[in-house]
Structures are given as C-alpha cells and as structure tokens.
C-alpha cells in the first residue's frame, strides 16, 4: 500500500498552520512579589489584554515571587534578553541613570497627584529616554506603589533619633540607603524574598515598605509595630527592552505598549482606595500602628534632596519636580 500523502490543499493548510504556530510569541514576565500583590494582579490583567487583542498569538507567562531572582536580577535579565519583561522601579533604575533616584527622594511630593504630574509628564518621559539610551531598557508604564512606612520588631518610631543605630532592611537602591543613613540607622540592602527571614532571625530589626507589602509578606508575624513615617511615595513600572520590542511586529508592539498603559491607569485609580483596607488587615493581625509627625523627619532629610540632585547633576530636574507641586 502506498503511504498516505497530503493533498495540495491539505498541505497548504498544514504549512499555513505551522507558520502561524511559529509566529506565536510567549512573553516571559518576572517579578519579585507574591501573587496576592497589586503588581501581580496588574501583570495578570496585562496578560489577558495582550492575549485577547492579539487573538492569542501573544501570551504572557508570569513568573512571580522571586522565581527568577530579586528585582535587580530580573532587570538585568530583561536587559540581556533572558527575560522579556519585568517589574522595576526608579530606585533600581538609578543604578544605571543616577537622575532616576530623584523620583524617590524622601518627602518630595505633596500628594499622589503631584507624583502623577511628574512621572506622566515630561519628567518621566525624559528619564525613560535616558534609561533606554544608556541600557536598552524601556519603561512601559507607571504604577503606584504608594507611601512607604517603617516596620519595627520592638521599637516605636516617634522621632528621627529613634532610628539611631537600627539595622533596617532597604531595597538595593542608593536613595534608600542614603535616606536611612541620614537618619542614623544602619541601612542593609536585602532582596525582597529574604525580608521575612531577616526580620525573624534578627539580621535586621526593621524594614520599610507599603502596608500592602507588610500584609502580603506577613511581616506582622515578625514585627510588632508599624510606624506611619510616610517617608517616600514610591513608583513601579513594567520594564522591557528595545531588543524585545524590535523583535515584534508594529501591531504587536502597539498591543503590548497600550495594554501596559491601560493596566497601569486602572491600578493607579484603584490603589488609594485599597490602602485603608491593608491598614485594617494589619491591625486585625495585632500589629500596633502608630501615627507619626513627618515634620522632624522632613527637616532632617531636606538636605539630602539637594545633595543627591547635585551629585547626579540633576538640580534642574529636582526644581521641575518641586515646581509641579500642589498649589
């Protein structure tokens, strides 16, 4: 019996289907946060939009919770192409473009609206262009991480002097290190997945972060106090590389960038309403929450803004941010 053969029509169909399959792209997206985080939810929304608008030819594989390393490792992997997308933030971009550190200086913004005017305007656009020119990394959107507070194991924070000699976990970011050094603490950079153990074992006696992070990472189990220092209003962003974007078609690039912008806008509009819920959940878990007068902290840290800007050659940038403040 002769072996079965494909008809001309069937062969053409098979080749067409095969070429379509080869054209399909999986976007590898890693971040360091748990699957309960706002950032992960934004990534899931992004994946759903991209799949829908591409008719399934683009899919997003999300690798959360530090599976691919800490934040810095993720960004480096995006830069060299072993990952397609990650979750970054200005404090880390400052390792490549020092002026980025200006965005996360302590007590810089009058309100979340002030921050939005800065990052969604010419300042954010210009810094993004500098980062791309220096590294090939592309900032895709701007997400609100919100105000950061201080968690301590056994000490209430009321004044800057209460930080004296305290070992505190900070992100791997120059601005955070210098902020807490200026307060007399001993800032200790530790990757996010290791925070809980570092607090539990006494490697550090404190950490700083948002109420969301404190809850989803169960910091209330290893800390006794949450002190509302509100020291930094922090950003986040989806980050990719020009190398990855150039490998997409024009239509695919449009789908990916527009979806990233849309999910970020949704997240920004929803975040503030959730902050009170995080505080309530932390209180329910027994964490003592303390209001803190920001004035003495702002006074101690005010010189850091100018010093950092001068060192980064970004005095004009700092002034532009101040000028964008609330009336």
Q: Write the DSSP assignment of 108-129 as a string of letters.
A: --SSHHHHHHHHTSHHHHHHHH
The helix (H) or strand (E) run that includes residue 76 is: helix 71-80
- Residue 17 pLDDT more than 90? no
For residue range 98-137, what is the model confidence (pLDDT) as tens digits? 999 999 999 999 999 999 999 999 999 999 999 999 999 9
Tokens 């950079």, residue? 189
Segments in 217-249 forming alpha helices (H): 242-246
Q: What pLDDT sits at residue 174?
A: 84
pTM for the full model? Answer: 0.87
pLDDT bin (cut points 50, 70, 90) of residue 15 is: very low
CATH architecture for residues 23-323: 3-Layer(aba) Sandwich (3.40)
Residue 131 has which token pair? 């980062």
pLDDT band at 70 (very low <50, low <70, confident <90, very high): confident
Q: Minimal CA–CA distance to 39: which of 263, 256, 253?
A: 263
Determine the straight-line distance between the first and last CA of the chain, rounded to whole angstroms: 87
DSSP state of 82: S
Q: Where are the domains of the chain?
A: 23-323
Q: Which residue in this structure is represented by tokens 């954010």? A: 124
Q: In this structure, what token pair is assigned to residue 182?
A: 């200026």
């Amino acid at each position: 019996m002769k072996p079965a053969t494909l008809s001309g029509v069937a062969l053409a169909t098979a080749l067409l289907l095969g070429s379509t399959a080869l054209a399909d792209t999986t976007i590898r997206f890693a971040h360091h946060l748990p699957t309960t985080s706002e950032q992960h939810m934004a990534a899931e929304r992004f994946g759903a939009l991209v799949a829908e608008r591409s008719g399934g030819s683009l899919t997003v594989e999300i690798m959360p919770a530090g599976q691919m390393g800490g934040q810095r490792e993720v960004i480096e992997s995006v830069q060299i192409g072993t990952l397609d997308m990650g979750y970054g933030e200005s404090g880390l971009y400052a390792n490549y473009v020092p002026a980025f550190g200006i965005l996360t200086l302590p007590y810089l913004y009058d309100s979340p609206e002030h921050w939005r005017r800065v990052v969604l305007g010419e300042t954010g656009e210009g810094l993004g262009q500098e980062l791309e020119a220096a590294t090939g990394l592309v900032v895709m959107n701007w997400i609100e991480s919100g105000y950061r507070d201080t968690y301590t194991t056994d000490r209430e924070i009321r004044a800057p002097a209460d930080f004296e000699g305290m070992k505190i976990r900070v992100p791997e970011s120059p601005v955070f290190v210098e902020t807490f050094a200026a307060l007399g603490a001993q800032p200790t950079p530790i990757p996010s997945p290791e925070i809980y153990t570092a607090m539990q074992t006494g490697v550090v006696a404190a950490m700083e972060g948002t109420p969301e992070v404190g809850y989803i990472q169960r910091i209330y189990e290893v800390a006794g106090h949450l002190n509302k220092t509100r020291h930094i209003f922090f950003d986040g962003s989806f980050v990719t590389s020009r190398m990855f974007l150039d490998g997409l078609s024009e239509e695919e690039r449009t789908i990916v960038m527009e979806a990233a912008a849309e999910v970020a806008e949704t997240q920004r509009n929803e975040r503030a309403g959730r902050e009170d819920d995080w505080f309530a959940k932390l209180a329910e878990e027994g964490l003592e929450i303390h209001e803190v007068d920001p004035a003495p902290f702002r006074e101690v840290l005010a010189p850091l803004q100018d010093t950092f800007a001068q060192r980064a050659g970004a005095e004009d940038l700092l002034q532009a941010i101040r000028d964008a403040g609330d009336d």
